[in-house]
């Protein structure tokens, strides 16, 4: 049982509450007990990650009233009802009103545990989809979001959120294609510096004789060929964020001056005697181990320690496989908007192939596949990528996750094809209006996401 398996128990009989809690805690559940509905409702917070189990017959506020109050706050929060023998018809009616399920008294603990576990899985999937939808909406507004819900990516996101508005420099380590610039942009876009420049420079792509003027700037005549004044990247990024990619490629002669700029927070352009004060965050990135390079004499140890104030390690894609379906869907949706093409849902063999691939090119490789998938179709994209379709199904996703994943992709594809038209989507999927709205709410889909006037934001 996950340590996040939480259930809130509501009953006006304390002896029943104690018995239920003891039995569920033995199964690994975290339990909170309430004998007053108003107290439970007062404690209930947005995006509560657990399940509610409530008695149907209570004097102050019955289970149906509790169900309605919970649904007003969050229609997707599972509520399970405890019913007596004569309450079955009422319980069935409650399920029609949105209750997840009901359990008859006396309680069969095996049945109760199974029902609560299924309700919890539904809740966690719902919250996961909400987070993805929120990330997608943020990206459409121009803010970079880190897509994924694996423990590794959540841990990294939590660390970044702690230091968003601090002036501390950051060192990002990650394999090729793992998203180092995206992490740097996340730090910038979600910080108080977001209205200032984000300036990226690849230290390995600039000739050694030019990198100093690129970084620090130069006056006219400072060196042969310097026929006019040049604003350096440090000065241009002043007030914002400077991203130094492939910092390990910086020549040793430049590293000495780079260290001084980082320590003094001042930069002096080549050929000038006037220093410029800097209010800047520097984010450096490397695909190699800088400490090892330093020990080998290929990177200045003092610069490594200066950059290593806060280190962020990006997990490779193969270490967060549960994020692959979310990332693929995100990239496919962006590609569909860019190329005005539909997104065909993955079948099980294709999904298993994605989950079993080693992804040496990490997120960049997955994004390229998603774009080819939209442009060329599934078969051509997978063949071009060199991905073999397995003969057997061995997906890391459970049945409920697979069903929900495919259902959401089908709805998104229809909404995308109809540019957000509810009527046309109902016809395409042969769904009643209420059912479509319920499923859109379940997966956090908003009609405006698929309209033409939002498409331009997806192209950023």
Q: Write the pLDDT tens digit of every residue in 283-296.
A: 999 999 999 999 99
Q: Which domain holds residue 264?
A: 151-313
The residue out of 282, 313, 344 marking a domain boundary is 313
Bond from prior residue into 106 cis (ω within 30 degrees of 0):
yes
- Verify that 156 and 303 share a domain, yes or no: yes
Q: Report whether pLDDT(312) > 80.
A: yes
The sign one gets for the Cα dihedral 120, 321, 343, 142 is positive
**Domain assignment present for 295:** yes
Is 152 in contact with 322 (CB distance < 8 Å)? no
Q: Give 129-179 as a DSSP string.
A: HHHHHHHHHHHHTT-------SHHHHHHHHHHHHTTTS---EEEE--TTS-
- Per-residue pLDDT band for 460 (boundaries 50, 70, 90) equals very low
**Domain assignment present for 137:** no
Q: Report whether pLDDT(155) > 70.
A: yes
Helix, strand, coil percentages (3-state) for the chain, rounded to 5, are 50, 10, 35
Percent of the chain with pLDDT over 90: 41
- Average pLDDT of the residues in 384-397: 53
- Verify that 307 and 345 share a domain, yes or no: no
pLDDT for res 66: 94
Q: Report whether pLDDT(314) > 90.
A: yes
pLDDT for res 388: 55
180/145: higher pLDDT: 180
Q: Report whether pLDDT(104) > 90.
A: no
Place of tokens 């420099």: 169
**Domain assignment present for 141:** no
- Verify that 86 and 191 share a domain, yes or no: no
Percent of the chain with pLDDT over 70: 88
The phi-psi region of residue 148 (left if phi > 0; otherwise alpha if psi is between -120 and 50; otherwise beta) is left
- Structural domain total, the chain: 3
- Average pLDDT of the residues in 239-244: 96
- Average pLDDT of the residues in 132-140: 58
The residue out of 293, 313, 333 marking a domain boundary is 313
pLDDT for res 453: 40
- Global model pTM greater than 0.75: no
272/87: higher pLDDT: 272
- Verify that 364 and 415 share a domain, yes or no: yes
Q: Report whether pLDDT(456) > 70.
A: no
- Verify that 309 and 338 share a domain, yes or no: no
Q: Report whether pLDDT(194) > 80.
A: yes
- Verify that 17 and 60 share a domain, yes or no: yes
pLDDT for res 175: 94
For the stretch 441-452, pLDDT in tens is: 777 677 766 664
- Verify that 298 and 385 share a domain, yes or no: no
- Per-residue pLDDT band for 428 (boundaries 50, 70, 90) equals confident
For the stretch 249-264, pLDDT in tens is: 999 989 999 999 999 9
Rounded alpha-carbon distances, angstroms, from residue 275 to 151, 268, 269, 416: 45, 4, 7, 53
- Verify that 19 and 57 share a domain, yes or no: yes
- Verify that 92 and 31 share a domain, yes or no: yes
**Domain assignment present for 146:** no
- Average pLDDT of the residues in 299-325: 91
For the stretch 107-123, pLDDT in tens is: 888 899 999 999 998 88
- Per-residue pLDDT band for 97 (boundaries 50, 70, 90) equals confident
- Verify that 250 and 360 share a domain, yes or no: no
- Verify that 183 and 268 share a domain, yes or no: yes
Alpha helices in 45-87 (DSSP H): 63-73
Closest CA to 182 of 158, 205, 157, 214: 157
- Average pLDDT of the residues in 134-143: 56
pLDDT for res 86: 63
pLDDT for res 459: 24
- Per-residue pLDDT band for 3 (boundaries 50, 70, 90) equals low
- Verify that 273 and 163 share a domain, yes or no: yes
**Domain assignment present for 134:** no
**Domain assignment present for 362:** yes
pLDDT for res 137: 55
pLDDT for res 280: 94
The residue out of 123, 139, 162 marking a domain boundary is 123
122/135: higher pLDDT: 122
**Domain assignment present for 130:** no
């Amino acid at each position: 049982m996950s340590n996040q398996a939480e259930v809130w128990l509501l009953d006006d009989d304390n002896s029943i509450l104690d018995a239920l809690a003891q039995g569920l805690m033995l199964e690994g559940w975290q339990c909170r007990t309430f004998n007053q509905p108003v107290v439970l409702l007062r404690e209930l917070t947005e995006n509560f990650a657990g399940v509610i189990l409530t008695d149907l017959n209570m004097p102050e506020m019955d289970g149906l009233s509790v169900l309605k109050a919970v649904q007003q706050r969050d229609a997707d929060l599972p509520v399970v009802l405890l019913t007596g023998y004569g309450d079955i018809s009422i319980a069935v009616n409650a399920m029609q009103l949105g209750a997840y399920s009901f359990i008859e008294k006396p309680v069969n603990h095996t049945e109760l545990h199974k029902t609560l576990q299924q309700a919890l899985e539904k809740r966690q999937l719902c919250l996961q989809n909400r987070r993805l939808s929120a990330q997608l909406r943020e990206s459409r507004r121009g803010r970079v979001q880190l897509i994924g819900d694996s423990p590794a990516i959540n841990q990294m996101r939590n660390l970044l959120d702690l230091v968003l508005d601090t002036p501390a420099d950051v060192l990002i380590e990650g394999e090729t294609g793992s998203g180092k610039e995206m992490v740097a942009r996340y730090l910038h876009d979600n910080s108080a510096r977001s209205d200032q420049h984000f300036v990226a420079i690849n230290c390995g792509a600039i000739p050694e004789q030019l990198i100093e003027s690129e970084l620090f700037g130069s006056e006219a005549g400072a060196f042969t060929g310097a026929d006019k004044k040049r604003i350096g990247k440090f000065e241009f990024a002043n007030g914002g964020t400077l991203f130094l990619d492939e910092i390990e490629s910086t020549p040793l002669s430049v590293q000495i001056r780079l260290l001084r700029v980082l320590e003094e927070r001042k930069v002096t352009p080549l050929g000038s005697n006037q220093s410029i004060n800097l209010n800047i965050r520097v984010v450096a990135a490397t695909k190699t181990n800088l400490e090892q390079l330093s020990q080998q004499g290929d990177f200045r140890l003092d610069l490594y320690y200066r950059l290593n104030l806060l280190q962020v390690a990006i997990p490779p894609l193969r270490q967060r496989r549960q994020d692959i379906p979310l990332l693929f869907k995100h990239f496919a949706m962006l590609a569909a908007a860019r190329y005005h093409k539909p997104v065909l849902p993955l079948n099980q063999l294709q999904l298993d192939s994605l989950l079993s691939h080693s992804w040496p090119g990490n997120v960049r490789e997955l994004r390229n596949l998603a774009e080819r998938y939209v442009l060329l179709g599934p078969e051509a994209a997978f063949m071009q990528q060199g991905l073999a379709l397995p003969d057997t199904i061995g997906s890391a996703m459970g049945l409920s996750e697979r069903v929900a994943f495919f259902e959401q992709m089908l709805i998104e594809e229809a909404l995308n094809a109809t540019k957000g038209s509810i009527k046309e989507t109902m016809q395409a999927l042969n769904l009643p209006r209420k059912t479509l709205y319920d499923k859109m709410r379940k997966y956090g889909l908003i009609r405006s996401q698929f309209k033409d006037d939002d498409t331009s934001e997806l192209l950023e």
